[in-house]
Amino acid sequence: MGTHRRIGLFGGTFDPVHIAHTALAKAFRRQLGLDEVWFLVTPQNPWKTDSRLSPDHDRLEMARLALENEEGLTASDYEFHLEKPSFSYRTLRSLRTEFPATEFTLLIGGDNWAAFDNWAEHREILTHHPVAVYPRTGSALTTPEALQDMELRLSIVTQPLLDISSTEIRRRVMEGKRITDLVCPKVAEYIKKNGLYLR
């Protein structure tokens, strides 16, 4: 006890998790010297109410498979037990209460960061947590004006851009195309075995 742990949080839908997610999480962990990075598989992003989402347990299992040999990267079902939709401030409140000696740093894409002042209770989030932002295609790393009076603990994660998305993977599966370069082999196998993304 008493050790001050530093954990990075990477929230997403992960339907499915792909190699760009893993590469980014590794860069995040290494560049910030974090003990661990948790992939928070979100049951329901407050801004994405897409009913065609794969079941929570499939998305979690794929994240587990993708990360089982990745040191310091863990798939987390923490948000499965919280109220929906999964507002990040609620998740973070709960984590702070449960793990008071741990510092949680949020990983946020440049696209999400540009709109961060629209996140529920965003000032509360920034008061309690450092944030790491990484570039995404088409988004500049500028801090929203509404946040400029805040004392931000902000770092930038530099990572070569990989043009891969879960949307593209789902589409390729539906079209019967190969996805072996885009997801890890065990995830490809899981998708096939369970007939995911065929409709």
Ligand X SMILES: Nc1ncnc2c1ncn2[C@@H]1O[C@H](COP(=O)(O)OP(=O)(O)OP(=O)(O)O)[C@@H](O)[C@H]1O
Ligand Y SMILES: O=C(O)c1ccc[n+]([C@@H]2O[C@H](COP(=O)([O-])O)[C@@H](O)[C@H]2O)c1
* Binding site residues, ligand X, CB under 6 A: 12-15, 20-21, 24, 109, 112, 136, 162, 164-167
Query: Looking at 28, 87, 104, 134, which residue binds ligand Y (CB under 6 A)?
Result: 87
**How do the residues of the chain divide into helix, strand and coil, expressed in percent and rounded to 5?**
40, 20, 45
Query: Looking at 22, 54, 76, 86, which residue binds ligand Y (CB under 6 A)?
Result: 86
Q: Which does 139 bind (CB under 5 to 8 A by kind): ligand X, ligand Y, none?
A: none
Q: Which residues contact 22 (CB under 8 A, 6 or more apart)?
A: 66, 67, 70, 73, 184
- Scanning 44-52, 54-62, 67-75, 191-199 for contacts with ligand Y by CB under 6 A, the matching segment is 44-52
11 binds ligand Y (CB under 6 A): yes
Burial of residue 96, with CB atoms counted within 10 A of its CB: 0-12 exposed, 13-18 middle, 19 or more buried:
middle
Residue of closest CB approach to ligand Y? 11
CA-closest candidate to residue 110, choices 130, 136, 92: 136
Output the smallest distance, CB 18 to ligand Y, in A: 12
CA-closest candidate to residue 11, choices 110, 106, 136: 106
76 binds ligand Y (CB under 6 A): no
Query: Looking at 19, 26, 35, 45, which residue binds ligand Y (CB under 6 A)?
Result: 45
Residue among 152 and 180 whose Cβ is closer to ligand Y? 152
Residue among 10 and 101 whose Cβ is closer to ligand X? 10
Token match 């919280």: residue?
82
Query: Looking at 31, 74, 94, 112, which residue binds ligand Y (CB under 6 A)?
Result: 112
CA-closest candidate to residue 62, choices 194, 180, 187: 187
Q: What does the alpha-carbon distance between residue 127 and residue 141 come to, in Å, rounded to a whole number?
A: 20
- Scanning 5-13, 19-27, 143-151, 177-185 for contacts with ligand Y by CB under 6 A, the matching segment is 5-13
Q: How far is CA 123 from CA 87, 127, 170, in A?
A: 14, 6, 35
110 binds ligand Y (CB under 6 A): no
Q: Which does 104 bind (CB under 5 to 8 A by kind): ligand X, ligand Y, none?
A: none
CA-closest candidate to residue 113, choices 92, 90, 86, 144: 144
